[in-house]
């Protein structure tokens, strides 16, 4: 559990940074530095989620763990020729809050 706690803390930190960058640069298209920072933290966060034990993931079936892994591959390998900023905004607005709650729950155990 100690290792998983480190990953959970790392994920929580990435989410916090992403939220902060998104607030300071709501138009990610117009701010390439903020977009790059968000993308990097999404990648790092996604990689950390892949290292969480299955029992942690099983406690949170509402989180699309496989989609997060697939999203990481898109970020890293640049599938489809680039990243659409509107997709990133959707991830920040719709997906991160759910993950943030799940990670917070795990950290409180």
Query: What amino acid positions are annotated as catalytic residues?
Result: 72, 77
The answer to whether the beta carbons of residues 28 and 101 sit under 8 Å apart is no
Closest to 20 in 3D by CA, of 49, 5, 41:
41
19-27 contacts at long range (C-beta below 8 A, 24 or more positions apart): 19/92, 19/96, 22/89, 22/92
Which two three-digit tokens encode residue 8? Answer: 């959970």
């Amino acid at each position: 559990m100690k290792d998983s706690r480190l990953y959970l803390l790392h994920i929580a930190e990435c989410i916090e940074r992403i939220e902060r960058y998104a607030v300071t640069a709501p138009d990610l298209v117009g701010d390439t530095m903020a977009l790059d920072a968000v993308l990097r933290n999404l990648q790092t966060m996604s990689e950390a989620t892949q290292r969480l034990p299955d029992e942690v993931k099983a406690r949170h079936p509402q989180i699309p763990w496989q989609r997060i892994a697939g999203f990481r591959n898109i970020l890293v390998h640049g599938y489809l020729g680039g990243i659409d900023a509107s997709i990133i905004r959707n991830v920040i607005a719709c997906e991160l809050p759910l993950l943030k709650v799940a990670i917070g729950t795990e950290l409180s155990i």
